[in-house]
Structure formats: structure tokens, C-alpha cells
Amino acid sequence: MAILLFFFFLLFDISRAIPVLDFSKLNGHERAKTLAHIANACEDWGFFHLVNHGIAKDLLERVKKVSTDFYKLEREENFKNSKVMKLLNETGDKKLENVDWEDIITLTDDNVNEWPSQTPGFKETFKEFRYELKKLAEKILEVLDENLGLPKGYIKKAFDGEEGENNAFFGTKVSHYPPCPNPKRVIGLRPHTDAGGLILLFQDDEVRGLQVWKDGEWIDVEPLKNTIVISIGDQIEVISNGRYKSAWHRVLSTTDSNRRSVASYYNPSHKATIAPAPQLMKETNEEWNQAYPKFVFGDYMSVYYQQKFHPKEPRFQAVSAI
């Protein structure tokens, strides 16, 4: 991994590349420095690569294999008859709006019976992968607690809501972005921020496409083998009272490659009440400086479904009126 990181930094301008952070260094004498790097990444980018995250390489390789096999066996032919494919073929040179060049399925604990069944090893591999990812997500949330000066477990407890422990929602989206005959006419995934809490992305090792909006330009999230890309969602932006920001990002379509993407999201329960942590609101003239409203996450999602690809600030305004 050290050699891989050396070539990464050699090839790319690190001032314009999302941070690459070593999670294992939290356990050694570089803990304070690593905490600071994570805090800076959350504040300045809302995105970062995580290496040495504790998920076994063998498991990651199996996830790659079953994901690729699944698309070829169960999805590829269907995509050829998809709505977006038909639109691309029927609309001449017109640029397509309000659609994405993406094939996607969602895995949760509640729909296991609907998980792909024709691809050997898919269910077993993803059950194991989701288990490991959820553990990693909760470790990262504790790091965010520490960096924000919050009690250990604060964010997880907020996500669980008043219903008790382990009510936070954990889902996984398995996406593929097939070769597109005309990438100028349709994007892989339109620009948006992530609605939920913490997103853990296991992206393609080789095919580019993911970009983050930073300082007025789109910056590539370069493929880096066996890393987990961390994305800060809207709810952590709220809890941090704006100290950490969810980032606009998009996926470009390409002509000659099928990009694989496995994104897992650790979200609040739909009944959880989300608000800035009191410890992060400053007292000014005897009034609380609260930059974000207090709301029920399910209400926020109702707004998000209608406004996902629009600026996030009006979403916060809209949910405050509910």
C-alpha cells in the first residue's frame, strides 16, 4: 500500500486530490495527527480515501467479483432495454435531462429475500461485506464525535433516535455505469449531495468517473485500489452545525468502460430527530447561533426525494417549515 500511495502522489497534484488517510494510525503515536487530518478532510472536502481500514483484501476482491458477475449475469441485458437507453436512441442529438446512465439495486436487512439469487456467492459475500462496513462506519462516527468535542456515541445515538439502540438505517447500493455511446448527452449520475449520515464507497479500481465539486471546479476522485471513500452526508453537516460539509459530487459516463460502484450509507432512523449538537452552537447576545433547523429525518427525506439534484440549502429551509 505504501508503494501504491507513493505513485498516487507522484502522478497527481495532491493539492487538487481528495485526502488519502491511514485509519490504522489512529492506534499509534500518530493518533493526534491523524485525527487532525480527518477533521480537516471533513471540513475542507467532505470526502476522503481511507486506507488500512481493517476490511480484508480477500473480502474486497470477492465483492468486486460478485458485483461484476452479477451485472453480466442478471442486469446487462435488461439495461439495453432500459428507459435511459431508449431515450438516448430516440432523441437525436438532444442532451438528456432528469435521467442518469446508471444501473442500480439496493440491499438492506429488510429485503434480503429480494437480493440477487442467480449469481454464485453474491448474498454470502454482501452479508459479510455489509457487516464489516457497518462496524467501520460506527468507528468513524466515534472519530467524528471526538473531533467535534462530542461525547462518544453522540452521532450514533442521534441516528438511532428515541426508539433505542441500533435503529439507524444501513443500506447498500450496487451500481454500474455501463459504456455509453454518447457521454456528452447523458451523465452517469447528476450532481447532488448525500441526504443521509455517513457514506462508505467502494469504487472501481480502474475506471474513473466520480468527481467532487471543490473551489469552483470538478475534481476527480481517482481510483485507488482497495480504499474506502468516505463521504459526509447532509445529516452530519447539520449535527456539526456546518463545521463539516456534505460535498456536491457527480459521476461521468464513459464510452469504453463499465464502472462498478458499491455505496453503503449509515443513516438516521426515519423517526430520528436531527438538530445541531448543543455543544456546537455558540451563544451570542443570549441567543443560540443555530445555523440549521431541527427536524425529523423522515420529513427531510420527503423533501430530498423531490429536490435531490437541487441546492441543499432550500431543502433545509423547506424541512424547517414542516
pLDDT at 163: 74
Q: What is the mean pLDDT of the chain?
A: 93
pLDDT at 31: 97
- Does the pLDDT value for residue 188 go beyond 50? yes
Residue corresponding to grid cell 437541487:
310
- Does the pLDDT value for residue 62 go beyond 50? yes
pLDDT at 320: 86
Tell me the residue type at 284. T
Show the DSSP H helices in 149-200 as ranges. Answer: 154-160
Q: Cα(53)–Cα(140) distance, rounded to whole angstroms?
A: 10
- Does the pLDDT value for residue 298 go beyond 70? yes
How is the beta sheet containing 20-22 ordered, strand by strand?
20-22, 47-51, 228-232, 198-203, 259-267, 169-177, 103-107
Q: Cα(187)–Cα(118) distance, rounded to whole angstroms?
A: 29
Per-residue pLDDT band at 285 (split at 50, 70, 90): very low
pTM of the model: 0.92
How is the beta sheet containing 210-214 ordered, strand by strand?
189-192, 249-251, 210-214, 217-220
Average pLDDT in the 151-166 region? Answer: 91
pLDDT at 15: 56
Average pLDDT in the 262-266 region? Answer: 98
Identify whether the C-beta of residue 57 lies closer than 8 Å to the C-beta of residue 226.
Answer: yes
- Residue 31: CB atoms within 10 A of its CB come to 12
Ordered by where they begin, the domains of the chain are 18-269 (2.60.120.330)
Per-residue pLDDT band at 286 (split at 50, 70, 90): very low
pLDDT, one tens digit per residue, over 88-117 is 998 888 899 999 999 999 999 999 999 999
Question: What percent of the chain shows pLDDT beyond 90?
Answer: 87
Pick the range with the lowest mean pLDDT from 37-41, 72-76, 163-167, 237-241.
Answer: 163-167
Per-residue pLDDT band at 14 (split at 50, 70, 90): low
- Does the pLDDT value for residue 205 go beyond 80? yes
pLDDT at 4: 52
Q: Cα(41)–Cα(36) distance, rounded to whole angstroms?
A: 9
Per-residue pLDDT band at 12 (split at 50, 70, 90): very low
Residue corresponding to grid cell 468486486:
64
pLDDT at 198: 98
Burial class (CB in 10 A: 0-12, 13-18, 19+), 225: middle
Average pLDDT in the 118-147 region? Answer: 98
Average pLDDT in the 126-141 region? Answer: 98
Per-residue pLDDT band at 218 (split at 50, 70, 90): very high
Helix (H) and strand (E) counts for the chain? 10, 15
Residue 279: CA atoms inside 13 Å, Cβ hemisphere, count? Answer: 11
Q: What is the CA radius of gyration of the chain?
A: 20
- Does the pLDDT value for residue 270 go beyond 60? yes
pLDDT at 164: 77
pLDDT at 108: 98
- Does the pLDDT value for residue 1 go beyond 60? no
Q: Cα(106)–Cα(171) distance, rounded to whole angstroms?
A: 7
Average pLDDT in the 119-139 region? Answer: 98
pLDDT at 72: 97
pLDDT at 284: 46
Cα distances (Å, whole numbers) of residue 312 to 127, 192, 194, 197, 234: 32, 8, 10, 14, 8
- Residue 289: CB atoms within 10 A of its CB come to 12
